Copies of this chain bind each other. A is one copy, B any other.
Amino acid sequence: MASHGALANEDPLKLGELTLGDYLQDLDYRNVLVGKSEARGNQDALQRLQIEQHTNIGKRLAQGGFENFEHFSGIYPDQIAPEDLAYNDYLYANGFDGKNPWESWANSAVNQDGKKVSGWQMRNSNLPAAVPEEHSETVYTTDRALEFLSSVDKDERWCLHLSYIKPHWPYLAPAPYHSIYTKDHILPAVRHSTELSNPHPVSGAFMQETYSRNFSRDEVRERVIPVYMGLIKQVDDHLGRVFEKLKSMGLIDSTLIVFTSDHGDYLGDHWLGEKDLFHEQSVRIPLIVYDPDKEAEQSRGIKVVDGDTIVLNGEKIRFSGIDTPEHLREYTISQIDYSDRGPRVSLNLHPYDCRAHMIRNKEWKYILHEKFRPQLYDLRNDPDEFHDLGDSPEHKSVRQEMDEKFFSWFRNRLIRTEMEHDFLFEMGVERDEKMGILIGHW
């Protein structure tokens, strides 16, 4: 975030920052997006550089270095649904009516009185989506991915960014996925009464948000989480179709598959909903790498589930073989800016003061706020992060140690992000003299 400059969905990447797509394009890959992406170009910059949006360069910048084979940037309620939405066109073609069938069919349900009700009301999450499964977002997105795969040439190098939107608000699944799981399948909420008594001001403010108050109720969790699980199961099933397609095309042994997610979800853990803060539920994400290359044999089958091995979101994955654990990080850093969230108002903060930073290693998670005391969690003895040691006198030295790591990280961040780095090692200190620039000679 500190380098690429994008803090919120609305933010474009900084103009000179390279994406995965940019790097792969240089390697002659055809990079294709199918699904959700919030990448967008910096319109002011494009205008200043007189780069037209419809040109290849304009598109590349607006699309994060990918070709939009199928693109949507989120869920579209009626107020913001664009005229030319491919999924809406698809739904029309299949007989679904209305101004915005995505909303009125895929994100609406029919209640027992035969009335259309909104998926935005979580009380309706137990109902199946009005759209049949075969026309739901996940199936449509998968079908588009298979269409792309059918179009690739045998010898073409390509990268498919298949980006499912669901599970996502509104929490509604098509049948049968709305009812595969029940409240008996869900894990107990990871929360503790101690978190409610005298919480950190920022945590406390987020606990007061509508989504947190609702997800703190068992009735909500028991209705929504089974559906959330159903939506995951649906993605799982349809990824199977992608893998079968790769097999049938003879590509499964030459295709690197990386499965990951952009963030977690509280779903009521820690008396919170959504994804705003730094608990493991929010910042820890799945990462599954399938690498058919022989060089990857030695690392095949490794499972890391204890949080002791840290892979930073966005860290390079080598194309042949995976970095061995020795190369993994000692700590990870995360940054948030909640200036567009309710707690900015409820805490009466200036937007610039809504920034917070987390540093986490195997033992500790330490969070710095600008206007409030820090937070500290002992991950060895309190893996559930119930007990905030941010003002514990006995832990002063731990906080100091984490401060030092943090401060050092800030000082040593890469600054020349838009330049090749190898030149640094080639740049001789005697270079000036070779050019006849004789500084300080007598």
List chain A positions with a Cβ less than 8 A from chain B: 1-2, 5, 7, 10-12, 14-16, 22, 42, 44-45, 48-51, 57, 61, 75, 77-80, 103, 118, 120-123, 169-170, 209-215, 217, 220, 273-274, 337, 339-342, 344-345, 351-352, 355, 357, 368, 370, 403, 406-408, 410-413, 415-420, 424-425, 427, 429, 431, 434-442
* A341–B418 touching, CB < 8 Å: no
For residue A422, give the distance in angstroms from its CB to the closest CB of chain B: 11
A77 touches B440 (CB 8 A): no
A420 to B5, CA, bound (A): 12
Contact B418 A14 (CB under 8 A): yes
Task: Using known A-B contacts A79-B435, A436-B79, A442-B122, determine if residue A407 contacts B403 with beta carbons closer than 8 Å.
Answer: yes
Instruction: Chain B residues near A410: list those with CB within 8 A.
Output: 407, 410-411
Task: Kindly identify which residue among B42, B210, B340 contacts A441, using a CB–CB cutoff of 8 Å.
Answer: B210
User: Quick check: B215 and A440 within 8 Å, CB to CB?
Assistant: yes
Contact (A49, B42) CB under 8 Å given A75-B437, A214-B440, A340-B431: no
B14 near A436: Cβ-Cβ < 8 Å: no
Enumerate chain B residues within 8 angstroms of A169, measured Cβ to Cβ: 437-440
Contact assessment for B415 and A5 in the assembled complex, using a CB-CB cutoff below 8 Å: yes
- Given the complex of chains A and B, what is the CA–CA distance between A419 and B45 in angstroms? 9
Pairwise interchain contact A355-B436, C-beta atoms closer than 8 A: no
5 more contacts with CB within 8 A, not counting A5-B419, A15-B16, A120-B441, are A11-B419, A77-B437, A122-B442, A123-B442, A169-B440
Measured CB to CB, the closest approach of chain B to A22, in angstroms, equals 7
Shortest A66–chain B CB gap in Å is 15
Query: Quick check: A413 and B77 within 8 Å, CB to CB?
Result: no
* Whole-angstrom distance between the Cβ of A2 and the nearest chain B Cβ: 6
CA distance A437 to B170 in the complex (A): 9
Closest to A209 in B: B440
Q: Which residues on the B side are within 8 Å of A441 (C-beta)?
A: 120-122, 210, 214
CB–CB B368/A80 < 8 A: no
Contact of A407 among B217, B406, B413, B440 (CB under 8 A): B406
State whether B424 touches A214 (Cβ < 8 A).
Answer: no
A146 to chain B, nearest CB (A): 30
- Say yes or no: B416 contacts A11, CB within 8 Å: yes
The complex places the Cα of A154 from the Cα of B355 at a distance, in Å, of 49
**Contact partners of A75 in chain B: CB under 8 A:** 437
Neighbouring B residues of A12 by C-beta, 8 Å: 418-419
Task: Report B-chain residues with C-beta under 8 Å of the C-beta of A416.
Answer: 5, 7, 11
B368 touches A440 (CB 8 A): no
